Structure 1
Amino acid sequence: MRNEERRERLRTALIDAAERTIAAHGLSALKARDLAKEVGCALGAIYTAFPDLDALILAVNLRTLALFDRAIAEVRLAPEPEGPATPAEREAAIDTLVRLAVAYLHFAASNPARWRALFQHRMTGALPDWYLVEQGRLFHAIEAPLRVLRPDLSETERALLARSLFSATHGLVSLGLDEKLMALSERVLRGQIETVVRALGKGLARE
């Protein structure tokens, strides 16, 4: 087997092992020595496959983002109107925002350790461009209903607004699922999120 093939197999094995550890025990449980033992390689071999643990964690987080992307893809999006939106089309766009927020809550509640790892990991340097592109996919689905509610905004303004709405939803989910602060049942938290996101959507529609 060629060196490149061996390195690729080791990369996959390390990502698989790190993914299992994070999903089961959280990001803080990830240790290079334990990973090496699990995949059956020398400790130094990890750094022939990845420059550092940051890069390995990003590879796991990329898989988590892909899972979330598939969950969002299952949300039924309201079609965008060809002309000025009618009241019914604006209401459908608001419903889409609510469904997206609820899907985010369900994903976080179903994959708590993996979801937290997306935000707990602190890089020693700047995030690579390819990862920022993948992160940006979190906001693309939000931009579609915003085009219906706020056709007056530029693409840049709409992208910023999508990030703000995501941040608002993320804050509600983070606090609601935090057992040390104000842990709420998923049912109760869903009701709160639906109320807040619908109110925000109606406010945007009036503008």
Structure 2
Amino acid sequence: MPDRNYRNKLKANTLLVAKRIVENEGLGALQARRIAQEAGCSVGTIYNLYDGLDDLIIRVNSGTLEDLGAKLSGLEQSATGSLADNLTAMALAYLQLALDSQTAWRAVFEHQLAKDKTVPDWYREHQATLFSIVEKKLAHVVTDDQQRKMAARALFAAVHGIVSIALDQKLGDFDYAATQAQVKFIVQSAAKGLVEQPMQSNASTSGYAADVSEPDAN
């Protein structure tokens, strides 16, 4: 039991060290040797505790998704407004998280798995849980389960695209007010369209994206 407790504490500590490095310096600064040095263990220990550096990075990114999930769940539980209001609040919360935690947020999308690795099922399930928060808001205007999954992912892709372009300053200097306005426009337009013309159950939903990050190498 003492050995197991020590292992669990060491595993938690290495995760905290990795998270701190990513938050302060970005994914590019994360190296096994540095993690080991700051955690007070050997490089070999890192690979005994985790299934390689990819596994550790995915767990760091999972923490970022948990932060987002907590924000969205809080909004979902307290929501009393229209569909447009509720979806807009979630989208703006996403913008704020990306702005407040840029390096950690970027790491979720920058990480590329090694060629022989696949995204673990538990991480896919974590992503699906996040999308389910949005899907609940769409339930009364998108009654088909598969269409609702597609709609939630399409909304995310639109908002994420706006946020990414803005923070990367691809179209000019970052302007918070302008980015907010763009997010509101795309989300409220989509919500208005769904309310006025709910999606029919015979619409095609094949090929929708199943995840928000951690693409497989192939």
TM-score tier, shorter chain, comes to 0.7 to 0.9
Gap change, CA 1:96 and 1:14, over 3 Å in 2: same
Q: Please give the alpha-carbon distance, in whole angstroms, between the structure 2 residues aligned to 1:155 and 1:166.
A: 17
Runs of 4+ with deviation above 6 angstroms? none
Percentage identity across paired residues of the two chains? 35
**Where does structure 1 lack aligned partners over 5 or more consecutive residues?**
80-90
Q: TM-score, normalised by structure 2?
A: 0.83
Give the drift of 1:150.
Answer: 2.6
- The question of 1:123 aligning with 2:113 is answered yes
1:41-88 CA distance string (max 9 Å, x none)? 111111111120011111111111111111112315546xxxxxxxxx
Q: 8 Å contact 1:15–1:60 — kept in the other structure?
A: yes
- The alignment partner of 2:97 has SS state of helix
Greater shift in the superposed pair: 139-148 or 99-108: 139-148
Preserved CA contact (<8 Å) 1:22 1:30: yes
C-alpha RMSD of matched pairs (Å): 1.7
Structure 1 length normalisation: TM-score?
0.88
Map residues 1-207 of structure 1 onto 2, 5 A cutoff: 2-76=2-76, 78=79, 92-124=82-114, 125-151=117-143, 154-179=144-169, 181-207=171-197
- Deviations 1:106-135 (CA, angstroms, capped at 9, x unpaired): 111111011111111111211000010001
| Number of matched pairs | 194
Q: By how many angstroms is 1:179 displaced?
A: 3.3
Q: Could you tell me how far 1:180 is from its partner in structure 2?
A: 5.0
Check the 8 A contact 1:94/1:145 in 2, yes or no: no
* Matched residue SS, 2:130: helix
Provide structure 2 residue ranges, at least 5 long, that are not aligned to the other structure.
198-218
